[in-house]
Structure 1
Amino acid sequence: MFGRARGVAPGAHRAVGAGANGAFLRHASILETSDARRIDVRASITDPFGGLKVRRFENRARIDVFVVLDLSGSMTFGRDGEAGDAVAELCGAIAHAAVRGQDRFGMIAAGPTERADLAIRATRRAGVDEDVWRRVSANSGQGAGVGGLIAALDELPQRRSLVFVVSDFLMPEGDVDELLGRLWRHDVAPIVSQSSAVETRLPRFGLIETRDLETGRRRLVVMRRSLREKWLADARARRAALDRVFRRHGRPAFDLVDRFDADAFADHLLSGGV
């Protein structure tokens, strides 16, 4: 899923080319790599052509890690519960892991309009994880659409970076396509923020009031069995369509449901080859 880093500063990520700080790759002729410090005596003695063999190692480099955070109004749903703010905890954990791994961390946050006040330039400063947690916790989102988020992608560097896109992806499929398409030069990890209440707390019968978190419009609905089944079927169909877009861009998503599970998130990243 994730490609090799292209940085030159030593780090923890598999990178393009050979280096001196990674796993053993292969033997090469000293004419190819004129580094006498890495001559392998045993391999040189057993070489049928009598050449001097030098060890070559995998290159490891630093990368820039970014969070692209959707702050449209729909992202407020499920973020005011007693279990804490899962989105803030996730973003803080990404920042902590990046700096601990000697990478730089940055953040872009926007909804219908850009939020320059929440942006963090790529940095390795201590405490950035706590700063991220505070900023995200205090700003759950408002407004309709993700036009500002898509426009804000121009602030990302040209060099290949690891970009976590955190959103509920409750947007037209064309917007999801454009969002991921504009990140083509980066390694992208979509994270779908969602609440189990959408399915588990739907009554089988009775009056319920719905509210569009982006427009503020309210509607009274008579819930009945047929409507409930259609509601859930539509939700499954929307997610299936979303998964097709992710697959089209080669980006499997991580589901952030109700709370942040660090172990599950780590397993997801490891299975993706970071």
Structure 2
Amino acid sequence: MNTLSAMPEFHYRLPMCAGGSRPGSHPGSSFGAGQAFAMHARLFDHPDPRRIDLRASLRAIPAEWLVRVHLQRVSVPVYVVIDVSASMHFGQIKSKLDVAADFVAALGYSAFRAGDQVGMLAFDAAEREELYSPARYGQGVGDVMAATVRRAAQSPGVAGGIDGLEKSVAKLAGRQGIVFIVSDFHWPLQRLPKILDTLTHAYVIPMVVWDRAEVEPPEHGALLAIDDAETGERRTLWLQGKTRRDWRDAAARRRAEIDRLFDKRGIRPFYLQGEFNAESLSRYFLEAVA
């Protein structure tokens, strides 16, 4: 079986122009061999006779040869910043970290097809420097990063926090490109706007990874023993009708809180629940650039 043909691929594009000189698939802000018309210029300034526009040259005052100048499409660095804290180890069928690893593998393949470099940073309560992968271009980069995430899923997790995210994204401050933040966001969000301010030059996509068991109470049974994914504390819940409603309402309020926070910056989160779907993520980007 061809591994590449089995690898899920999604299509992503920057919704704005990016700087850079390396050819790629994203709208660029520099002149070059592209298809997006920018302006007419004098042949003397852009000496490429192949792009002479005869009609524009005949209308020019004063009379001179004019060429069509186009914007070059460029490649951009793509980074995934992934939460590997204890709560990301939870999952009924597969852990949220395994779902995140599926996304990372697809991202690596999709970036390779788009001509982009891809790298990874990780965090829990602190930055996980041993899981860092610099942005590289290559066919197997995504597989290597996904394997790193799956190994992290096999080790005991520690409590998470926004401190680790803040230290991780500090490496990306002021850079252009695409940044995926992959987390369940089960930590206080008050400092998140300040962190997003450091990524104002990047296109940020929050990937909210939840498991169905987090947002929906069990259909059967009256007593439920639960463990806090971050602290390990165990308690027992009596699943009455009101408790089930409160469970669903709490999940809906948390989602609304996340949506409101990112909406203030013109960002729309992408939600994963139980599995990664490449087609859904392609539609997300299609709607973003439409």
Return the TM-score normalized by structure 1: 0.90
Distance 1:149 1:207, change over 3 A: same
- Give the number of equivalent residue pairs: 274
Whole-angstrom distance in 1 between the partners of 2:149 and 2:93: 12
Whole-angstrom distance in 2 between the partners of 1:82 and 1:182: 30
Aligned counterparts, 1:85-104, within 5 A: 85-104=98-117
Aligned counterparts, 1:12-161, within 5 A: 12-30=25-43, 33-47=46-60, 50-78=63-91, 81=94, 85-140=98-153, 141-156=157-172, 158-161=174-177
Q: Post-superposition shift, 1:157?
A: 6.1
Query: Counterpart of 1:238?
Result: 254
**Residues 169 and 176 of structure 1 are in contact (CA less than 8 Å); yes or no, is this contact kept in structure 2?**
no
Q: Post-superposition shift, 1:196?
A: 1.9
Query: Counterpart of 1:247?
Result: 263
**Residues 205 and 225 of structure 1 are in contact (CA less than 8 Å); yes or no, is this contact kept in structure 2?**
no
Query: Counterpart of 2:6?
Result: none
Query: Counterpart of 1:228?
Result: 244
Query: Counterpart of 2:227?
Result: 211
Given residue 155 of structure 1, which amino acid in structure 2 is its aligned partner? K
Q: Post-superposition shift, 1:32?
A: 5.6
Query: Counterpart of 1:261?
Result: 277
Whole-angstrom distance in 2 between the partners of 1:80 and 1:135: 20
Whole-angstrom distance in 2 between the partners of 1:165 and 1:84: 13
Q: Post-superposition shift, 1:87?
A: 1.0
**Residues 102 and 146 of structure 2 are in contact (CA less than 8 Å); yes or no, is this contact kept in structure 1?**
yes
Q: Post-superposition shift, 1:184?
A: 2.1
Whole-angstrom distance in 2 between the partners of 1:127 and 1:40: 44
Given residue 134 of structure 1, which amino acid in structure 2 is its aligned partner? A
Partner secondary structure for residue 144 of structure 2 = helix
Whole-angstrom distance in 2 between the partners of 1:122 and 1:210: 39
Whole-angstrom distance in 1 between the partners of 2:87 and 2:15: 29
Query: Counterpart of 2:194?
Result: 178
**Residues 9 and 61 of structure 1 are in contact (CA less than 8 Å); yes or no, is this contact kept in structure 2?**
yes
Whole-angstrom distance in 2 between the partners of 1:238 and 1:185: 27
**Residues 32 and 70 of structure 2 are in contact (CA less than 8 Å); yes or no, is this contact kept in structure 1?**
yes
Q: Post-superposition shift, 1:154?
A: 2.0
Given residue 253 of structure 1, which amino acid in structure 2 is its aligned partner? P
CA root-mean-square deviation: 2.5
Q: Post-superposition shift, 1:233?
A: 1.0
Whole-angstrom distance in 2 between the partners of 1:87 and 1:2: 24
**Residues 20 and 30 of structure 2 are in contact (CA less than 8 Å); yes or no, is this contact kept in structure 1?**
no
Q: Post-superposition shift, 1:68?
A: 0.5
Partner secondary structure for residue 190 of structure 2 = helix
Stretch moving more, 136-145 or 25-34: 25-34
User: 2:284 matched to 1:271?
Assistant: no
Stretch moving more, 113-122 or 76-85: 76-85
Whole-angstrom distance in 2 between the partners of 1:152 and 1:138: 20
Given residue 278 of structure 2, which amino acid in structure 1 is its aligned partner? A
Q: Post-superposition shift, 1:253?
A: 0.9
Stretch moving more, 8-17 or 252-261: 8-17
Whole-angstrom distance in 2 between the partners of 1:125 and 1:34: 35
Query: Counterpart of 1:167?
Result: 183
Partner secondary structure for residue 173 of structure 1 = coil
Whole-angstrom distance in 2 between the partners of 1:156 and 1:48: 47
**Identity within the alignment, %:** 32
Distance 1:169 1:82, change over 3 A: closer
| Unaligned ranges ≥5, structure 1 | none
User: 2:205 matched to 1:189?
Assistant: yes
Given residue 57 of structure 2, which amino acid in structure 1 is its aligned partner? S
